Amino acid sequence: MSKDAHSARAAAADLVAAVTGEGQLLSDALGQGALTALAPADRARAQRLATETLRQMPRADAVLKPFLRRSPPAPVLAVLRIATVEMLALGAAPHGVVGAAVDTLRAGGMRTDSFASLGNAVLRKVAATDPSVWETLPVPELPGWLRGRLMSAWGKPATRAMEAAHLAGAPLDLTPKDGDAEALAARLGGEALPGGSVRLTAPGQVSELGGYASGDWWVQDAAAAMPARLLAAQAGERVADLCAAPGGKTLQLAAAGAEVTALDISQGRMDRVAENLGRCGLAANLVVADALDWQPEALLDAVLLDAPCSATGTIRRHPDLPHAKGGYGLRELFALQAQMLDHALTLLRPGGRLVFCTCSLLPEEGEQQIAHLRDRHPDLVADVAATDLPWIAPEWRAGDGMLRLRPDFWADRGGIDGFFIACLRLPG
């Protein structure tokens, strides 16, 4: 095993331990520990390995349980889980995986080196396990705080279907700058999806794909691309993208020719928006501010509000979320979304359009939020025409001008992120 391969495995173990032992999000843990010293390719390998381990973790734990009298510390358990997933889910050669795991434990200092013998003994037993057993293990269930809410909202069959979609993971979706999905799909060997995204099932390194450096497209889940498409910004319209980072929707609005103001409270996240705009040769006015305080110089034609939310619709891409998050703080999130919606309406001219969206599976962050908004603002009009499009599937519709997307939809195509989208209009 190469030194770089060992370093990538050690970094992956650090990531898994940060999520499971410290409750960190994977995105936050990526800038810490051994990962920061790795070359880009090894960083990507470590992240992929950690992500797959978190996705498959309940299965790995079921295999490990008979061989452990008690659960070891999080850093040790992370190494065992990763090795189990490598051998049984990813088909890696057991001899190399066991040796690498033991080396990782020995190199981990006081946290892990005393567990090297235990790790060797346990993983040799895992290596002797029939790989076919893996596929007979149950689909991992979501934690109780989320599973209960989804069962209440959508029922048991739908919840189980969503859990299966989470286990399957997600392909890579791209948004073409020129809007020609068919041409980009043919160029990259992907599938042009209804609505205008392009899906790749085995993309490899994203930055090496044709058209990346020239900014011909950007990475964006097909569901995340729909709000801006439904807003249908026109050339010259004054549009604000609130909570804009990482910038996919800003890029869509700018590519349509709108005069876009992209706003986010984080300078670091706004830097990412600037980088993406620069790569794609697009322009927008970037503002670092709290969306609740910001006021435009003149009233706007349209506002896109992708509000802070539980992100429960993105678990198939971010399997760390169920492990790092609990049900804490949801009421505060719901209240913040309501405040942001009320404020967004004050930014619009008469007849102006508002598209509200969250990457959430919870009705409190979607259907219920809009019902309460319309109670507070009875003059609001559902923009039915915005969602009257031939590529929108009937099962997505959640009422006038509203869509509800779930991870188990488009199962034959590889799924889609969970999203809620509402299209509204002020009276003219």
Active site residues: 359
**Cβ-contact 176, 160 below 8 angstroms:** no
Length of the chain: 428
- Give the residue carrying structure tokens 């960190």: 24
Q: φ and ψ at 189, to 5 degrees?
A: 75, 35
| Most distant pair of Cα atoms in the chain: their distance | 73
Residues 6+ apart with CB under 8 A from 398: 366, 367, 404, 420
* Sign, Cα dihedral of 174, 206, 417, 278: negative
Report the Cα 322 to chain-centroid distance in Å.
12
Which of 11, 20, 105, 1 lies closest to 319 in space, CA to CA?
A: 20
CA distance 343 to 293: 9
**Cβ-contact 162, 150 below 8 angstroms:** yes
DSSP for 347-406? TEEEEEEEEEEES---GGGTHHHHHHHHHH-TT-EE-GGGG--TTS-GGGB-STTEEEE-
Euclidean distance between the first and the last CA atom of the chain, given in angstroms as a whole number: 67
